[in-house]
Structure 1
């Protein structure tokens, strides 16, 4: 089997753990398949295998289960296969138990809350070991179909009780009541499981629908990521513009303050200029009056000068006449 898997025997043997250390087996597989790595759910499957066979055989069987029974896809970090199983199981629930499905939705009791562990651990953590081993045996033969059948059989068997409970009550019912309902008769659960309607063609169609939905979601996520990147860049640009706008606003306010101060200063200068102009006008008027007075005085002076000139010849004539008379008298 090891040669068929393409795994070197020395490598496998070096990865084997001491007996009793069950959690080391998944560690060994994580070194073989680094894409899947270590998944806690696989430890329960490996633990059951180690209870039935030696470690080397348990490791080889676990590798085969991972590669050929869809478990590898279930345990990938993306868990895309688990999402598909939940999608298909929800369809079965809606189709075959519509009342219970409506009640679950009204209580926000999502399928992944109770069914995820069913697919990841193949009921090994949910049902008692005798019942879980029966389910595991059928899984080895039929694959994941038995997980869908057993899950639906459990819900059908408990539908009446679950519809009467709220979310907390349903959680308690799944944890404490359902796991022990088939302790005494595991075959009862298996018989009910095979009464569940299961259409492989419909499940294949649902797989295609789910793949289409996920591809569309992936495209939308890529678009959302692109838009978020653009949004982040736009926010950065907006922040830069806001800073620039704030700086411009500060400069504008400073400019307005400066202009207000300049306007106030100009107003003061205008008032001073008006006073100076008024003083200048008064001075001009005074100067004009002074000039007029000077002109009048000069004119008056000229007039006085002309009067003196006219009087001088007359006086001279009078003096001469008086002198002549005097001489005449003397003679």
Structure 2
């Protein structure tokens, strides 16, 4: 495994290939096993199966599903009704060439035919297994089918290995249809890749829009806060203005009262002044009359004295 990972760095080490290597090492020396592994990878479509993209595995699953839909339609419909994907039961079959699903004897026999006929025989064995388990599978749900593929089906075919191979050899695989499926899958992959590119673009655009939306929301929140503060400030100003107007109105009332009181006081002062002037005038007249009377009395006394002297 280490030698092959150094030999083919693009593929590197894959866990599934270890089961194939283990089977080869049981049959031949390490050097021969390495050489056979290289040929299996390069000549039997297995290299693309173990690439990081695993595109070949996806193609095999697509082809197998199409064959099942054509040759065992009722089972295909049952799988669909249970959302039971082809890869859920068949991916390990193709990645390990059944070394993890069946016993050593069956795995060796499958490997022998595989080296002779290629990947087509792996499809035939898959269809044969489904035909053998068909009646039971049609009565199971998804979880039960998974368990059936892991335990009961392998035990069933191991008890009749010849029956499995006879049935597999009877399965017909149309090469032209396989090529057509390959082209269809390539078109689907291309479309998916284009959609993925578009999806990445949309996600990136969505991320930018979200970021922009967050900025706008922040700005909106700030503006809303400023608006609220402005409204509060205006409300406070209006309240202050109302208080000032009320105070001014009160001062005006006080001013009017004081002005009225002042006018009343001025009228009283004017009245008092008139009365005072009248009193002064009366006093002055009385004083003049008194002085005149005193003067007349003096004259009369003087005349009286003159008369006496005479």
TM-score normalized by the length of structure 2: 0.84
The answer to whether the 8 Å contact 1:182/1:189 transfers is yes
- Aligned counterpart in structure 2 of residue 154 of structure 1, from 119, 123, 129: 129
What is the match of residue 279 of structure 1?
A: 254
Give the superposition deviation at 1:183.
4.2
State how far apart, in whole Å, the 1-side matches of 2:227 and 2:157 are.
Answer: 82
- Aligned counterpart in structure 2 of residue 297 of structure 1, from 252, 272, 290: 272
Give the superposition deviation at 1:212.
1.8
1:96-107 to 2 correspondences below 5 Å? 96-107=71-82
1:218-257 to 2 correspondences below 5 Å? 218-257=193-232
Give the superposition deviation at 1:60.
2.1
State how far apart, in whole Å, the 1-side matches of 2:150 and 2:236 are.
Answer: 81
Give the superposition deviation at 1:74.
0.6
Deviates more, 1:146-155 or 1:167-176: 167-176
Give the superposition deviation at 1:248.
4.8
Q: CA RMSD in A?
A: 2.9
Task: Provide structure 2 residue ranges, at least 5 long, that are not aligned to the other structure.
Answer: none
1:177-256 to 2 correspondences below 5 Å? 177-183=152-158, 186-256=161-231
The answer to whether the 8 Å contact 1:128/1:180 transfers is no
Give the superposition deviation at 1:294.
1.7
TM-score normalized by the length of structure 1: 0.79
What is the match of residue 9 of structure 2?
A: 34
User: Is 1:120 aligned with 2:95?
Assistant: yes
What is the match of residue 59 of structure 2?
A: 84
State how far apart, in whole Å, the 1-side matches of 2:22 and 2:168 are.
Answer: 25
- Aligned counterpart in structure 2 of residue 94 of structure 1, from 69, 72, 76: 69
Deviates more, 1:252-261 or 1:155-164: 252-261
Give the superposition deviation at 1:259.
4.8
After superposition, the Cα gap between the structure-2 partners of 1:185 and 1:263, relative to the gap in structure 1 and judged at 3 Å, is closer
What is the match of residue 23 of structure 1?
A: none
The answer to whether the 8 Å contact 1:130/1:186 transfers is no
Structure showing greater radius of gyration is: 2
* Structure having greater relative contact order (Cα 8 Å, sep ≥ 6): 2
What is the match of residue 34 of structure 2?
A: 59
Q: After superposition, give the CA deviation of every residue in 1:232-285 in whole Å (9 maximum; x if it has no partner).
A: 333344444444544555555555555555555544444443333322221111
